[in-house]
């Protein structure tokens, strides 16, 4: 029996509200993050991801308060990310009620940070988010909300992340983000077939078939999406029933 594939709504939070954009820009409001989270939990989402996309000092306080409220309202695991640069940030988020933290730019700036999180809390707490784009010279990683390219290739960095103790990888294809034309299944399969840890697909969900393809062609362990859930385009109970009928193992 294979492990159930997970469906994960992602909520980008800015100044206390959920927003969604296309290719990391052109943000529009999608509602209250706590109310949305509760609705997703009730609808059968397996996990949630909350990302603080403007993690300034003031934003952090707002976000931490929100994490506390989310933890009170929902009964499924949730991951938080955005502006987590030091072990103190991890401490604060877990104390507020988060189950896992997601690190991205900070890990590329200082890879030892992954070892620190895994060493203190265990691999299951550390999700390493990787934003990458398929450039003319191959897949490269980007930091600071996709604004700065670094000279690390997707696969090499993903391997190092796993070696350092991250529990799973959240891979977002920047080319596919918000475009709703499907996930980057070839790159997903390359990661999933190479790495010893789960891979979450992100960027590109537009219809039910895209989720199926991420699992069958991309070999992903979970699929994450935002706008198709926030704006009611794909109800989660219907998606899971459809995937089940397609032969995908999901929790109904």
Predicted local confidence at residue 19, as pLDDT = 85
C-beta separation of 20 from 226 below 8 A: yes
| Residue 186: Cβ within 10 Å count | 11
* Average pLDDT across the chain, whole number: 93
Catalytic residue among 46, 52, 89, 131: 131
Predicted local confidence at residue 175, as pLDDT = 85
Catalytic residue among 12, 52, 89, 177: 12
Instruction: Give 33's Cβ-side CA count (13 Å radius).
Output: 30
Question: How many helices, marked H, and strands, marked E, lie in the chain?
Answer: 10, 12
Q: Are strands 78-81 and 199-202 parallel, antiparallel or unpaired?
A: unpaired
**Residue 104 phi/psi, 5° resolution?**
-140, -85
pTM: 0.94
| Residue 4: Cβ within 10 Å count | 16
- Is 12 among the residues known to form the active site? yes
Instruction: Convert the pLDDT of each residue in 153-177 to its tens digit.
Output: 999 999 999 999 999 999 999 988 7
Q: Check pLDDT > 70 for residue 25.
A: no
- Kindly indicate the confidence band of residue 23, based on its pLDDT and cuts at 50, 70 and 90: low
Q: Which residues contact 101 (CB under 8 A, 6 or more apart)?
A: 79, 80, 81, 84, 89, 90, 93, 94, 117, 125, 126, 127
C-beta separation of 182 from 176 below 8 A: yes
SS3 annotation, 11-43: EEEECCEEEEEECCEEEEEEECHHHHHHHHHHH
Instruction: Convert the pLDDT of each residue in 162-217 to its tens digit.
Output: 999 999 999 999 988 777 899 999 999 999 999 999 999 999 999 999 999 999 99
- Kindly indicate the confidence band of residue 58, based on its pLDDT and cuts at 50, 70 and 90: low
Q: Check pLDDT > 90 for residue 106.
A: yes
Instruction: Convert the pLDDT of each residue in 82-92 to its tens digit.
Output: 889 999 999 99
Alpha-carbon distance values, 99 to 62, 95, 117 (Å): 18, 9, 13
Predicted local confidence at residue 1, as pLDDT = 52
Predicted local confidence at residue 31, as pLDDT = 83
Predicted local confidence at residue 22, as pLDDT = 62
Predicted local confidence at residue 21, as pLDDT = 67
Instruction: Give 156's Cβ-side CA count (13 Å radius).
Output: 9
Predicted local confidence at residue 26, as pLDDT = 66
Sequence-ordered alpha helix ranges (H) in the chain: 33-43, 57-73, 87-96, 105-109, 112-121, 154-164, 185-194, 208-216, 227-230, 236-245
Mean pLDDT of 115-123: 98
Mean pLDDT of 36-63: 88
How far apart CA 126 and CA 106 sit, in angstroms, is 13
How far apart CA 222 and CA 169 sit, in angstroms, is 10
């Amino acid at each position: 029996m294979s492990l159930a594939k997970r469906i994960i709504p992602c909520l980008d939070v800015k100044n206390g509200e959920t927003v969604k954009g296309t290719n990391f820009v052109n943000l529009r409001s999608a509602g209250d993050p706590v109310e949305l989270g509760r609705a997703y939990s009730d609808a059968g989402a397996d996990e949630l991801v909350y990302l603080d996309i403007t993690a300034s000092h003031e934003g952090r306080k707002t976000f931490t308060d929100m994490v506390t409220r989310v933890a009170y309202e929902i009964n499924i695991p949730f991951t938080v990310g955005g502006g987590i640069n030091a072990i103190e940030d991890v401490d604060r988020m877990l104390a507020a009620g988060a189950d896992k933290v997601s690190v991205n730019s900070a890990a590329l700036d200082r890879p030892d940070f992954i070892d620190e999180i895994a060493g203190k809390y265990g691999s299951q707490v550390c999700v390493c988010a990787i934003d990458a784009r398929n450039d003319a010279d191959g897949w490269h990683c980007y930091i600071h909300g996709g604004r700065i390219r670094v000279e690390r290739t997707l696969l090499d960095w993903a391997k190092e992340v796993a070696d350092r103790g991250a529990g799973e990888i959240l891979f977002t294809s920047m080319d596919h983000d918000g475009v709703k034309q499907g996930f980057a299944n070839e790159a997903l399969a390359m990661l999933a077939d190479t790495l010893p840890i789960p891979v979450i697909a992100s960027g590109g969900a537009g219809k039910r078939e895209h989720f199926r393809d991420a699992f069958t062609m991309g070999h992903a362990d979970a699929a994450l999406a935002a706008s198709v859930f926030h704006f009611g385009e794909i109800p989660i109970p219907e998606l899971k029933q459809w995937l089940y009928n397609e032969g995908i193992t999901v929790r109904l």
